[in-house]
Amino acid sequence: MLPIVPGHEIVGRVAAVGLAAQGFAIGDRLGVPWLGGTDGTCSYCRHGMENLCDDPIFTGLTRDGGYATHVLADSRFCVAIPEQYGDV
pTM of the model: 0.83
- Please report the pLDDT score of residue 38 as a whole number: 96
Helix (H) or strand (E) holding 31: strand 29-32
Q: What is the largest CA-CA distance in the chain?
A: 38
Give phi and psi for 76, each to the nearest 5: -65, -20
What is the residue range of 73's domain?
10-80
- d(C-alpha 23, C-alpha 34), whole Å: 19
Structural domains in the chain (count)? 1
First to last CA, the chain: 28
What are the phi and psi torsion angles at 40 (to 5°)?
A: 75, 0
47, part of any domain: yes
CATH number, domain of 65, equals: 3.90.180.10
pLDDT reading at 88 higher than 90:
no
Give the Cα-Cα-Cα angle 71, 64, 37 (nearest 5 degrees): 85
pLDDT, tens digit (0-9, with 9 covering 90-100), for 10-26: 999 999 999 999 999 99
